[in-house]
Structure 1
């Protein structure tokens, strides 16, 4: 059984006439009849029965037509999806990032790319570094993004390229006593309650103790995919203050951004992808866009 036989069967079922079907299919009637007979032989049931000069489906044919049409639709969808995958102007880019990178970086990159490529779609997940690496190896995603203080995650199969440094700032609610300051020393914050920007996982963000030089009072330690917006909401509500990566997404209508006097070791965002593996043209276009972004902006802060 092959795709051509299914198409022939469907057309005969629709026209109920071998002569009409053969003209639509641009095939001789004997060749069409032979193909249908072969299909019936494979299925071991009659699909059509004569009805005057025409034919009509048998009860076996009616049942098989439902599945044949469904199969043809699925095959057509598959062909369309494959066409999109190899297109350099349309299709879906499958990416994943750690939650911090998603909250403070990816939205701008994706938005800028879509401005120039409006027909592209993104499948965007937020995962741990380990999950990102595994999904790259399994071919579930095209590109992964994660951040790290020191060296990139080493894996012989994965290419990791540093694309941006993130510097840290202090955010406080507008009515906070420090709200009008342009710069603050970490030592001034010893009595403050902090909302910790960390997740308690293998890829957790900077150690608050190492960064501050003392063990801070942690009032809340939120977790989850939308950690950035959650922290900003909590700080805005006066639940505490927080040290976070600087980003244009921070709502300065409800929050004050204050530079930190001491140098906090910045985090580096990495782009990762599977080495020596096929990547769809549209995903390659996005990857190249990121690399161009690196050439223009790398090692600067937000």
Structure 2
């Protein structure tokens, strides 16, 4: 048994097709079949069985694949750890955030860190909160940034550190009748149309009906947070958003809300009791030291 056979097993299990797997692995189909046959003979169990035109794992194959994947992951982690020891101040930091946080918060944090650690680099993408948590648990990413987790305490294997608190404000177009106001009560907005953005049906940035005390008229729900300000500026509606420095005050007016509503909290998450490269640890500590969170 060798690592190559375990890698072959993983790809065949994912594709459920020897022909497809052989193309992905850049190996001939006969050679791939022979390698798996040798593995089956060594284990003395069949790992695959026919399923129509394709194949699927047997119950023996499913059991062995679980342990095989763990072995491959451990070896990959070991190689990575050794490389990090050789170059403790360089390396790649793999992070993911929700799209709204990635639009305005992450670029500044990453840019400032790179000014201090120019030899490091980042792998960065946007995902939903469930996607971030999944990738943290699988070790695909080092750190995740999110602002809402359903039953956050139930994710006991994830350490979620609050790093920033932001109050919500109302934004309206410059030509709106409310644009000259500095403060407003939510009760005054009953006849207004709202532009409402949320990461997904479960990851609501703000429950409008809960805080307004009535069901508001939602004129549009953009799929990307970056679209929200443009829609408000164009007159598609008004919106409740976190108060951030990047709100374009040339086209929008920011109005404080009289009522106290729940602030938005940004969290940084990572997998507990798991290996983290030296450079990722440096970045994690940098984020904590350079952000402010007031309870």
- Secondary structure of 2:147's partner? strand
In 2: Cα distance, 1:207 partner to 1:80 partner: 42
In 2: Cα distance, 1:121 partner to 1:180 partner: 44
Q: Residues 197-230 of structure 1, C-alpha deviation per residue, up to 9 Å, x if partnerless?
A: 224422222211012111111000111xxx2320
Match of 2:254 among 231, 254, 257: 257
Map of 1:97 onto structure 2: 97
- Paired residues for 1:47-196 under 5 Å: 83=83, 87-148=87-148, 152-196=152-196
Change (3 A) 1:200 1:189: same
Map of 2:293 onto structure 1: 298
In 1: Cα distance, 2:293 partner to 2:212 partner: 26
Change (3 A) 1:268 1:150: farther
In 2: Cα distance, 1:221 partner to 1:179 partner: 22
Contact 1:87 1:281 survives alignment (8 Å) = no
Shift, 1:149, TM fit: 7.6
- More divergent stretch after superposition (148-157 vs 164-173): 148-157
Contact 1:199 1:222 survives alignment (8 Å) = no
In 1: Cα distance, 2:205 partner to 2:277 partner: 32
User: TM (normalized to structure 1)?
Assistant: 0.66
Shift, 1:267, TM fit: 2.1
Contact 1:146 1:271 survives alignment (8 Å) = yes
Match of 1:230 among 215, 224, 227: 227
Map of 2:44 onto structure 1: none
Map of 1:12 onto structure 2: none
- Secondary structure of 1:230's partner? helix
- Secondary structure of 2:281's partner? helix
Change (3 A) 1:184 1:90: same
Map of 2:40 onto structure 1: none
Q: Residues 120-179 of structure 1, C-alpha deviation per residue, up to 9 Å, x if partnerless?
A: 222111112211111111111000111128863532321111111121011111111111
User: TM (normalized to structure 2)?
Assistant: 0.68
Map of 1:245 onto structure 2: 242
Tell me how large the CA RMSD over aligned residues is.
2.3
Contact 1:85 1:282 survives alignment (8 Å) = no
Is residue 281 of structure 2 the alignment partner of residue 284 of structure 1? yes
Of structures 1 and 2, the larger Rg is shown by 1
Unmatched 5+ residue regions in structure 2?
A: 1-78
In 1: Cα distance, 2:163 partner to 2:194 partner: 29
Change (3 A) 1:153 1:111: farther
In 1: Cα distance, 2:290 partner to 2:220 partner: 35
In 2: Cα distance, 1:148 partner to 1:157 partner: 17
